[in-house]
Structures are given as C-alpha cells and as structure tokens.
C-alpha cells in the first residue's frame, strides 16, 4: 500500500506541474501574431506555444534503464543552452520522466528516494527549458545530472 501511495504521489506531483505548464497536450504548435495596429509586439517577441508530447509508459526495468541512460547521455551533451538546445532538452525530459516514473513505482528504499528527488528536479529542468530560461535550465540540469549519476550507480 505504501508503494502504491508513493507512486501515486510522484505521479500526481509530475502531472500537476505539467497541467499548470501546459495548455492542451495534443495541441499542435501554432504562431499567433496580432496586427501592428492592435499591438506593439515585434515578430522577435512572438513566441510559439509549446507542443507537449505524449510518451508511452515504460513497462520493464530493462526498457526504463535503457531510456534513462540514453536520455541522460543526451542531456549531458548539452552545452550551448541556446534556443534550439533548450527545445531539445525540453523534449528529452518527457522520456526521462517516464523512466523516473517507472523507477519511482518499482524501486524501494534509497533508490526510490533518489528517483523522487530526480523527478522534482527534472520537472524544474523541463519547465525552465520550456520557457527558454537558459540560466535556470543550466542550473537545474546540473543538479539533475548529479542525481542521475547516483541513480545510475544504484542500477549497476
């Protein structure tokens, strides 16, 4: 029962953060521009709504570990933190979140606690990259990668 409660708690934290950050999960990215007569917004200031992805749940430890390792390698490779990389980071976090959700549901003890911490920090990475906040993304990604190393060591 404790395991089920903890899993539900992790999932609800992730989902509530995502709901606050998203408009409609399946909505395609669109660009809306007001006419210059109605607004003083320049084209450079116009932002496209973020497209949110639906990623299938992971159902095996082997698959969760594979996805976790692959996405952590991709996240470690990010060094520029320009708009393109921030978008890539944002997209990568969807799959990483699924791996962490699997760990949170199926691990116990210290491994479960690390997964819970990582979920929270990764959500901060997700939100920062989604809003193109270079400094916050860089800071939170560094924090997440430190947790990822600890998780990876426990997976061996």
Taking the C-alpha atoms of residue 13 and residue 118, their distance in angstroms, rounded to an integer, is: 12
CATH topology of domain 2-20+59-155: 1.20.120
Q: Tokens at residue 116, please?
A: 């819970």
Residue pLDDT, tens place only, 10-38? 443 334 334 333 332 322 332 223 333 33
Boundaries of every domain in the chain: 2-20+59-155
Give CA–CA dist 117/68, Å, rounded.
15
pTM score, whole prediction? 0.67
Residue 55 pLDDT level (bands cut at 50, 70, 90): confident
């Amino acid at each position: 029962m404790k395991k089920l409660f903890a899993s539900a708690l992790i999932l609800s934290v992730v989902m509530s953060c995502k709901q606050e950050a998203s408009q409609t999960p399946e909505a395609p990215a669109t660009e809306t521009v007001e006419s210059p007569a109605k607004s003083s917004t320049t084209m450079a200031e116009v932002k496209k709504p973020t497209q949110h992805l639906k990623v299938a749940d992971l159902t095996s430890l082997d698959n969760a570990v594979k996805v976790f390792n692959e996405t952590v390698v991709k996240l470690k490779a990010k060094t520029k933190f320009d708009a393109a990389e921030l978008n890539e980071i944002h997209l990568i976090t969807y799959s990483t979140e699924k791996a962490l959700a699997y760990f949170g549901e199926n691990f116990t003890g210290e491994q479960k606690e690390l997964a819970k911490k990582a979920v929270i920090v990764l959500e901060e990475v997700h939100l920062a990259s989604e809003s193109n906040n270079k400094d916050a993304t860089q800071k939170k990604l560094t924090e997440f990668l430190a947790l990822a190393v600890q998780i990876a060591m426990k997976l061996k």
